[in-house]
Structure 1
């Protein structure tokens, strides 16, 4: 009889447990979860930035975080500057010569255009007088 009674009681307890609705509740608060995600994102961004800096340094052939300046020879720098100034002066002179030539050609075209208009006008008056 005791077996029968305990079986019924166990059945009732099991029925009561299975009849309820259960919802999952997070073990940690929302603030904790947001902080963990923000930390994971910040860590990932820092790791990615470090990897990118290392990759760029490897491609450039120098140690990461260091940029060794090359010594500059003042004489060579002045020579290069003088060469650049000379090239600029030559280019400026060449442009001026081309511009002068273009202006002369434009004046010739205008003069020839006037002559052509005059000759066309002369041809029309002679054709009209023949009729």
Structure 2
């Protein structure tokens, strides 16, 4: 104990404290078996999550696009639908024609109004 309190510097002593002369190495906190077990559990969890995602993706594709098969018994309905679509197309064409002629007549009316205003201005200037 007396050697530890001396202030002199000898091998292994620094100002009254003993310095260890052996080498230190880090020791793992967990055993190697625990580390491998945790790694295996993480891998299994990732594979399960991937499988669940794939299953959900496949189900979403199947439910998004149901097969649409038209039964042959609806021929009368298809004919009525075709007639209604044709009637709508004809009405749209006739409305476009009427709108075109209305636009042309509006232009003509504005031109004639401008001429009337001009002629009225000319007749007032001669009075």
TM above 0.5, yes or no, is: yes
Task: Report whether the alignment pairs 1:45 with 2:50.
Answer: yes
How far is 1:80 from its partner?
Answer: 2.5
Equivalent-residue separation in structure 2 for 1:119 and 1:88 (angstroms): 46
Residue in structure 1 matching 2:73, options 66, 72, 75: 75
Match for 1:120 among 107, 113, 117?
A: 117
CA distance in 2, matches of 1:125, 1:81: 66
- 1:99 maps to 96
Give the structure, 1 or 2, with the largest relative contact order (CA under 8 Å, sep 6 or more). 2
CA apart distance, 1:86:
0.5
Alpha-carbon distance between aligned partners in 2 of 1:46 and 1:39, rounded to the nearest angstrom: 11
Q: How many aligned positions are there?
A: 102
1:70 deviates by: 8.7
Shift in alpha-carbon separation, 1:52–1:99, aligned structure 2, 3 A: closer
Gapped regions of structure 2 (runs ≥ 5): 1-19
TM-score (norm 2): 0.55
Q: Distance in 2 between matches of 1:89 and 1:72?
A: 21
In 1, the alpha carbon distance for the partners of 2:107 and 2:88 equals: 28
- The structure-2 alpha-carbon separation of the partners of 1:104 and 1:75, relative to structure 1 and needing over 3 Å to count, comes to same
CA–CA distance in structure 1, aligned partners of residues 56 and 50 of structure 2: 10
Measured on the aligned residues, the alpha-carbon RMSD in Å equals: 4.3
TM-score calculated relative to the size of structure 1: 0.54
Pick the structure with more helix per residue: 1
Aligned to 2:82: 85
